[in-house]
A and B are shown apart, each in its own frame.
Chain A
Amino acid sequence: MTGPRTLLDRLWGDHEILRRDDGVSLLWVDRHLVHEGSHHAFAKIAERGVPVAEPGLTIGVADHYVPTRGRPTDAAVARMIDTLMRNTAAHGITCFGLDDPRQGIVHVMGPEQGLTLPGLLINCGDSHTSTHGAFGTLAFGIGATEVAHVLATQTIWQSKPKSMRITVTGRLGPGVGAKDLALAWIAKLGADGARGHAIEYAGPAVRALSMEGRMTLCNLSIEGGGRFGMVAPDATTLAYVEGRPFAPKGDDWDDAQARWQTLPSDPDAAFDRDVTLDAAEIAPIVTWGTSPEDALPVTATIPDPAEFTGGKADRMRAALDYMGLTSGRPLAEVPIDQVFIGSCTNARIEDLRAAAAVLSGRRAKVPGLVSPGSHLVKQQAEAEGLDRIFTEAGLDWVGSGCSMCVAMNGDTVAPGKRCASTTNRNFRGRQGRGARTHLMSPAMVAAAAVTGHLTDARPLLEGRPME
Chain B
Amino acid sequence: MTGWTRHEGTALALDLENVDTDQLIPARFMSTPRAEGYGNFLLHDLRHDADGTPTEDFHLNRHPDATVLVARRNFGSGSSREAAVYALVDFGFRAVIAPSFGDIFASNAVNNGLLPARIGEDAADALIRRLDGTTASASIDLAAGTVTVADQTVPFDLTPAWQEKLVNGWDDIDLTQKHAAEMQAFRTRRAAEQPWAVPHD
Question: Which residues of A are in contact with B by a Cβ distance under 8 Å?
Answer: 17-18, 20, 22-24, 26, 28, 30-31, 37, 40, 43, 48, 50, 56-57, 59, 65, 76-77, 79-80, 115, 117, 119-120, 125-127, 129, 141-146, 148-149, 152-155, 157, 159, 161, 190-192, 195-196, 222, 225, 227, 245-246, 248, 252-253, 255-256, 259, 290-291, 293, 310-312, 314-315, 318, 406-408, 415, 425, 427-430, 433-434
Q: Which of B16, B82, B161, B179 has the most CB of A within 10 A?
A: B82
New A-B pairs, 10, CB < 8 Å, besides A17-B179, A145-B172, A225-B103: A24-B161, A57-B199, A65-B31, A149-B172, A149-B173, A155-B183, A192-B74, A315-B16, A408-B27, A425-B78
The size class of the interface chain B forms with chain A is 35 or more
Question: Could you list 10 examples of A-B contacts with CB < 8 Å?
Answer: A57-B198, A145-B108, A161-B103, A192-B102, A225-B74, A225-B77, A225-B102, A310-B125, A312-B17, A314-B15
Find chain B residues with CB under 8 A from A406 CB: 27
Find chain A residues with CB under 8 A from B74 CB: 190-192, 195, 225
Whether a CB of chain A sits under 8 angstroms from the CB of B55 is: no
Q: Is the CB of B173 within 8 A of A408?
A: no
* C-alpha gap A311/B14 in the complex (Å): 12
CB-based nearest A residue for B74: A192
Q: Is the CB of A246 within 8 A of B200?
A: yes
Q: Is the CB of B27 within 8 A of A127?
A: no
Whether a CB of chain A sits under 8 angstroms from the CB of B151 is: no
Whether a CB of chain A sits under 8 angstroms from the CB of B148 is: no
Whether a CB of chain A sits under 8 angstroms from the CB of B2 is: no
Q: Is the CB of B72 within 8 A of A311?
A: yes
Q: How far is the CB of B96 from chain A (nearest CB, A)?
A: 15
Whether a CB of chain A sits under 8 angstroms from the CB of B30 is: yes
Q: Is the CB of B182 within 8 A of A18?
A: yes
* C-alpha gap A115/B196 in the complex (Å): 11
Q: How far is the CB of A212 from chain B (nearest CB, A)?
A: 22
Contact with A along B94-135 (1 / 0, CB 8 A): 000000101110011001100000000000010000000000
Q: How far is the CB of B198 from chain A (nearest CB, A)?
A: 7
Q: Is the CB of B179 within 8 A of A127?
A: no
Find chain B residues with CB under 8 A from A427 CB: 20, 22-23, 78
* C-alpha gap A190/B72 in the complex (Å): 14
Q: Is the CB of B173 within 8 A of A159?
A: no
Residues in B121-180 with C-beta less than 8 Å from chain A: 125, 159-161, 164, 172-173, 175-177, 179
* C-alpha gap A77/B27 in the complex (Å): 12
Find chain B residues with CB under 8 A from A252 CB: 195-196
Whether a CB of chain A sits under 8 angstroms from the CB of B194 is: yes
Find chain B residues with CB under 8 A from A141 CB: 79-80, 104
Of A18, A50, A192, A415, the contact of B100 (CB 8 Å cutoff) = A192
Q: How far is the CB of A25 from chain B (nearest CB, A)?
A: 11
Find chain A residues with CB under 8 A from B176 CB: 26, 149, 152-153, 155, 157
Find chain A residues with CB under 8 A from B15 CB: 311, 314
Q: Which of B20, B46, B79, B176 has the most CB of A within 10 A?
A: B79
Q: Is the CB of A143 within 8 A of B107?
A: yes
Q: Is the CB of A31 within 8 A of B199?
A: yes
Q: Is the CB of A159 within 8 A of B161?
A: yes
Whether a CB of chain A sits under 8 angstroms from the CB of B7 is: no
Q: Is the CB of B160 within 8 A of A22?
A: yes
* C-alpha gap A50/B176 in the complex (Å): 13
Find chain A residues with CB under 8 A from B108 CB: 143-146
Q: Is the CB of A143 within 8 A of B111?
A: yes
In the A-B complex, the 4 residue pairs with the closest CB atoms: A248-B196, A143-B108, A145-B111, A143-B82
Of B102, B107, B112, B186, the contact of A28 (CB 8 Å cutoff) = B186
